[in-house]
Amino acid sequence: MQKIRLQLSHSIESILIEIGDIILFTLEVIKQFFLAPFEHRELIKQSYYIGNKTLPLITITGFIMGLVLTLQSRPVLVEFGAQNLLPGMISISVVREIGPVITALLCAGKISSGIGAELGAMKVTEQLDAMEVSGTKPLNFVVATRVLGTTLLVPILVIFADAIAIVGSFVAVRMYEDISIVLFISRAFDSLSFSDVIPATIKTFFFGFVIGLIGTYKGYNTSRGTESVGHSANSAVVTASLAIFVIDLLAVQLSNLIFEV
């Protein structure tokens, strides 16, 4: 029993220490956003890589997401004679919650792990140390550009995934009834309001920031040894995914409080 208590105490202590390290790392990264030189070329390069690597996966997943959600929801609405409400229900579900969270989790698995592995390899091979010796700031050139890139790209990927999901929903509806794309989109957007779109869009910026931050933190603090690179990548995915769920929970609570008032 005493051994279990010691292990639990050690685990809690380790978690608290890591949270403190992440907070300090976050402050340092945010500081780099406002310090010269601004590595705009590296930012554009990383943003392109992030979008290019993730776009095919987002496209396929978004389409299937809208297709499956519609196929599962339609029989229930048909039973009550409310199939006309299907486009609006799908659009609200996708825009408010399913689209942002699923896309962010995909980005956490694809982007955060990639960044963690890349920076971990750079750490192990002492490339980051070589940058410091040559006068280049790794936090500025390597970390800040990737964090800012994910912060800007993830919201765009979420919007794209939402649009593809609505297209997938339209394809599913067309399997059973003759409806034009114009009418479908009109019904879908009539159900949306600013209270649906604005909170969902704002939280995607936080999703992107956390995905880039966790990936760079895990990679930047990789231990010596090649096996640590894989551990950093896996840890980045798990930590970023948990952070996404926490941010989503807080965002939902805040938006409910604000818009209920």
Q: Comparing 59-63, 132-136, 196-200, which segment has the lowest mean pLDDT?
A: 132-136
DSSP alpha helix (H) spans, the chain:
2-32, 40-79, 86-93, 99-107, 113-124, 127-133, 138, 145-174, 181-190, 194-220, 227-260
Mean pLDDT, the chain, integer = 85
CA atoms of 61 and 7, how far apart (whole Å): 40
CA atoms within 13 A on the CB side of 11: 6
What's the rounded mean pLDDT across residues 87-99?
Answer: 89
pLDDT tens digit string along 230-261? 788 888 898 899 999 999 999 888 887 876 65
- Model confidence at 31, pLDDT cuts 50, 70, 90, reads confident
pTM (whole model) above 0.85: yes
Q: What pLDDT score was predicted for residue 61?
A: 92
Q: What pLDDT score was predicted for residue 2?
A: 65
